[in-house]
Amino acid sequence: MPVIVWLNEYFGTTAENGKPFEEFKSYKAHEARVHALVTLPAVRAETFGRDIEAMLRSRLSFDEAIAGPGFSLMARQRLKTYRRDLEARLEQARL
């Protein structure tokens, strides 16, 4: 069964001791099973991070948060930007 690895950099880099994830022994041992690596890049905590956290805390989808009244114009724009970036990463990974 193919595996998709999500590398979430929200709390910091996924590198360890200067080595990127792709060089970890555990990754190399299972690399043949990995269909894609999808990186969720670090974002500015004060802007994008706060908006994404509020969306998730409210249990809203991107569409619901963008269309709903609970987010400012700038917050909705940041969510649109982040969603476009995420969709491009998923497309690149052929998901």
Q: What are the residue boundaries of the structural domains of the chain, listed by start?
A: 1-42, 43-95
Instruction: Tell me the pTM.
Output: 0.81
The sign of the dihedral angle between the CA atoms of 69, 71, 73, 79 is negative
pLDDT in tens, 37-88: 999 988 999 999 999 999 999 999 999 999 999 999 999 999 999 999 999 9
Helices 50-57 and 73-92, interaxial angle, to 10°? Answer: 90
